[in-house]
Structure 1
Amino acid sequence: MYETPEELTALQRLLDDSFAASGRYLRSVLREERRLDAAGVVDRLRGISTMALATVTASGEPRVAPVDAIFYRARFVFGTGPNSYRLRHIRARPSVSATVFDGERLQITAHGKATPLALAEEPGLEAFLTELYGKEAWDSWMRDIPWFRIDADKMITFRNPEGTR
């Protein structure tokens, strides 16, 4: 766990505020007993997850595609191809929505802005990514791709241990 006590407190506040601002229907589905707290989010998002990341084209059309998601210091982190449309979308319009899910068992959704990361300024993150992906992959190409974090203004969680898919 790389989160500081202050980051966990801020994440819990974000989760609570997001739930409180949700509409009546969403709150009826995401009842209190189905929510994850900050520690639960960190625990469920250890390692590499697959995340559906939504960006917006210049003409306002949504685009969703999978990316590797890393949860580090209470924020989602992801990389993308240096020549990808996704990168162009984010640079022009940094608003994103993202969801990590496991069928009906788990859903963690964040809405916010994608902020570029300077890995030289984040030595702990670079070490963590190297550990996750392996030194060979990191040194040969992954270090050079654009990396981002999502500065979420909303985050909603749902867990259902009885989920069938």
Structure 2
Amino acid sequence: MLETPEELSALQALLDRSHGGGGAHLGSIVTDERRLTALQVANYLQGVKHVAFATVNSRGEPMVAALDGWFLHGQFIASTAAGALRVQHVRRNSAVSLVHMVGDEVGIWVHGTARLARREEPLIQEYDRLATAAYGTSPYSWGDDIAVMPVEARVMFAYAPDPSKYP
């Protein structure tokens, strides 16, 4: 786990704020007993996790794609080729949604904004180090240009029917 105590505290505050504003229907499913804590989220999301990454096209239509996701220092990071449509969408409108779920076992989703990060940023250097260890080569070696997109969550929800499975 890479999160500092301060980052875990901020993540827990985000989860709590989000849960309080999620609406009646969501609240009937993601009950207090079925919520994951910040510590559980950070522990579970170590390493690469597949995510559905949704952007908005120029016509205001939602577009979703499967990407590898990483959770570093309390935020999701996704990457893809710089020429991908979703990168064009983020350049035009930074609003995104992202979800990682495994059937009915666990679901973690965020709504927020993505930005195109620079390779020299410490967060992105850490992402590159972890991704290189996982994939055997740096994502930056896969093509001429890669877009790495940290997501700043406005809201975040973390659900599991049995949170005890996620220490």
Do both share a fold (TM > 0.5)? yes
Q: CA deviation at 1:125?
A: 2.8
2:73 corresponds to: 73
Between 138-147 and 104-113, report the one with greater CA deviation. 138-147
Answer yes or no: is 1:128 the counterpart of 2:130. Answer: yes
Separation of aligned partners in 2, 1:143 and 1:41: 33
Distance change >3 Å, CA 133–CA 114, structure 1 → 2: same
1:5 corresponds to: 5
Give the TM-score normalised by structure 1. Answer: 0.91
Distance change >3 Å, CA 51–CA 147, structure 1 → 2: same
Q: CA deviation at 1:126?
A: 2.5
Answer yes or no: is 1:100 the counterpart of 2:100. Answer: yes
Q: CA deviation at 1:115?
A: 1.6
Separation of aligned partners in 2, 1:118 and 1:139: 12
Q: CA deviation at 1:117?
A: 1.6
2:146 corresponds to: 145
- Would you say the 8 A contact 1:119–1:125 is kept in 2? no
1:13-32 map, 5 Å: 13-32=13-32
1:158 corresponds to: 159
Separation of aligned partners in 1, 2:30 and 2:70: 24
Gaps of 5+ in 2: none
3-state DSSP class of the match of 2:77?
strand
3-state DSSP class of the match of 2:27?
helix
Q: CA deviation at 1:116?
A: 1.7
Separation of aligned partners in 2, 1:57 and 1:151: 19
Output one character per residue of 1:42-82: Cα deviation in whole Å (capped at 9) or x when no partner: 11111111101110010111111101000111100010112
3-state DSSP class of the match of 1:129?
helix
3-state DSSP class of the match of 2:81?
coil
1:38 corresponds to: 38
Q: CA deviation at 1:129?
A: 2.2
* Structure 2 counterpart of 1:148, one-letter code: M
Give the TM-score normalised by structure 2. Answer: 0.90
Q: How many residues align?
A: 161
Separation of aligned partners in 1, 2:138 and 2:17: 39
- Would you say the 8 A contact 2:140–2:146 is kept in 1? no
Output one character per residue of 1:15-52: Cα deviation in whole Å (capped at 9) or x when no partner: 00000111111111111110000011011111111101
Gaps of 5+ in 1: none
Runs of 4+ in 1 over 6 A off after TM superposition: none
1:119 corresponds to: 119
